[in-house]
Amino acid sequence: MDAQQLKLVMDMQRKANLEMMEQMSRMFAQLLPTNGQSSPAAPTAESRKVSIMDSLSARLPTFAYDKDHQCTFDSWYSRYEDLIEKEGSELDDATKARLVLLKLDAHSYALFTSLILPKKPADLKLEEVVKMLRQHFGDESSVFRRRFEYINSEYQGNGLDEYDGQVKRRFNHSEWNLMNENKFNASPSSVDYAQPNTMI
């Protein structure tokens, strides 16, 4: 390529660059209002959903299952269900399910995905996800054990409010309210636990 051909190529390239810059200037002028301030683009429904998802994801803590300290999925979800449902009301069911799964720690997520095989997490509805998580990351103690702990609740001197809260939590957890009169009459009396030699 001689110098004249090189000059011709450079001139053509310069001309193409100028045309492209003019075209970009026209496009920017259309985007900017006359007062010089940029006009905010109207948020699309999809960008609004992404924004809600990001906001909720930032506010929800990660769920880590710890059965020894009663850190169950049921306790986590009952605490944050209202936030997910009300503030995420614009999100569809699949997105809410993704949000809940996103908040599982690595171990819980790996176990969950193994349990649902051959399905994928995206194939499940929120209701199915919550049901499975409650089932597999729930309290493993028997109803009998929980009722025994409720009956044997003792005041430890840490404050009456704390004791009252503990008793109410244990009562709720022991499912006494699900017992009818026949079941209650068939169950061992609390006096039997507290004082084994007492006759009823």
- pLDDT at 124 exceeding the cut of 80: yes
Q: How confident is the model at residue 191 (pLDDT cuts 50, 70, 90)?
A: very low
pLDDT for position 109? 92
Q: What is the mean pLDDT of residues 146-154?
A: 72
Tell me the CA distances in angstroms from 55 to 50, 115, 121, 138, 177, one per residue in order: 9, 29, 22, 27, 37
- What type of residue is 164? D
Phi, psi (deg, nearest 5) at residue 46: -70, -45
The least confident of 77-86, 129-138, 150-159 is 150-159
Q: How confident is the model at residue 127 (pLDDT cuts 50, 70, 90)?
A: very high
pLDDT for position 106? 92
Q: What is the mean pLDDT of residues 161-170?
A: 76
pLDDT for position 50? 84
Q: What is the mean pLDDT of residues 93-99?
A: 89
In total, the chain counts a number of residues equal to 200
> How many C-beta neighbours within 10 Å does residue 76 have?
22
Tens-place pLDDT, residues 42-69: 567 778 888 888 888 889 899 988 876 7
- pLDDT at 194 exceeding the cut of 50: no
Q: How confident is the model at residue 157 (pLDDT cuts 50, 70, 90)?
A: confident
Tens-place pLDDT, residues 9-48: 788 888 888 788 888 777 777 776 655 555 555 567 778 8
84-92 CB contacts, 8 Å cutoff, 24+ apart: 84/56, 84/60, 87/52, 87/55, 87/56, 88/52, 88/53, 88/56, 90/48, 90/49, 90/52, 91/49, 91/52, 91/53
182-187 CB contacts, 8 Å cutoff, 24+ apart: 187/147
